[in-house]
């Protein structure tokens, strides 16, 4: 398993048709692109829902935010749900201020996100959506 403390490696795990992507300690251009690539790979493989776990993330810069917007857009385009989990208070405030929370759900931790998405995955999609 990758060392998250370096912030240089993004890894993920699958839980049925859900995937959890773990962000590193600093979300900038380099780590953001890795997160986006991993999320797109999971979506292309048929994932119906993604969790991005920010447990180790201390800082998010403006380029990281713009890359997250790209991930949100990719999830919306495929009809997949997206949840950010384990987001620290400072980053939650940043996401709220910039409007990301209008497009993505926040969960206190990964277990809460998994429970929410498992519920979603077992519910049939509404007609026409």
Domain CATH for 22: 3.30.750.24
Residue 3's pLDDT is 35
pLDDT for res 119? 75
**CA 84/CA 129 separation, integer angstroms:** 22
Among 9-13, 22-26, 97-101, name the one with the lowest average pLDDT.
Answer: 9-13
| Pairwise CA distance, residues 91 & 56, whole Å | 12
- In-domain check, residue 127: no
Residue 16 lies in a domain: yes
**Is 31 a domain residue?**
yes
Supply the pLDDT for residue 2. Answer: 38
Q: Residues near 21 by Cβ (< 8 Å), separated by ≥ 6?
A: 10, 11, 12, 35, 38, 39, 42, 50, 51, 52, 53
Residue 70, helix vs strand vs coil: helix
Percent with pLDDT over 70 in the chain? 86
Position 58 in a domain: yes
Q: Look at residue 1 and tell me whether its pLDDT is greater than 60.
A: no
Residue range of the domain that includes 22: 4-120
Residue 75 lies in a domain: yes
pLDDT at res. 117: 83
Q: State yes or no: pLDDT of 4 exceeds 70.
A: no
* pLDDT (0 to 100) of residue 127: 43
Span 78-103, pLDDT tens digits = 999 999 999 999 999 999 999 999 99
Within-domain flag for 10: yes
Helices 62-78 & 29-44 angle (0-180, nearest 10)? 10
How many structural domains comprise the chain? 1
- Whether residue 128 is contained in a domain is answered as no
35, part of any domain: yes
């Amino acid at each position: 398993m990758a060392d998250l403390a370096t912030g240089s490696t993004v890894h993920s795990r699958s839980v049925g048709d859900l995937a959890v992507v773990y962000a590193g300690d600093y979300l900038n251009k380099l780590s953001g692109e890795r997160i986006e690539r991993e999320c797109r790979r999971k979506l292309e493989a048929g994932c119906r829902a993604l969790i991005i776990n920010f447990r180790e993330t201390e800082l998010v810069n403006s380029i990281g935010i713009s890359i997250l917007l790209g991930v949100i857009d990719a999830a919306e385009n495929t009809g997949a749900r997206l949840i950010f989990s384990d987001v620290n208070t400072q980053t939650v405030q940043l996401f709220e201020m910039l409007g990301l929370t209008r497009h993505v759900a926040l969960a206190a931790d990964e277990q809460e996100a998994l429970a929410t998405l498992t519920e979603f995955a077992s519910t049939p999609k509404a007609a026409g959506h």
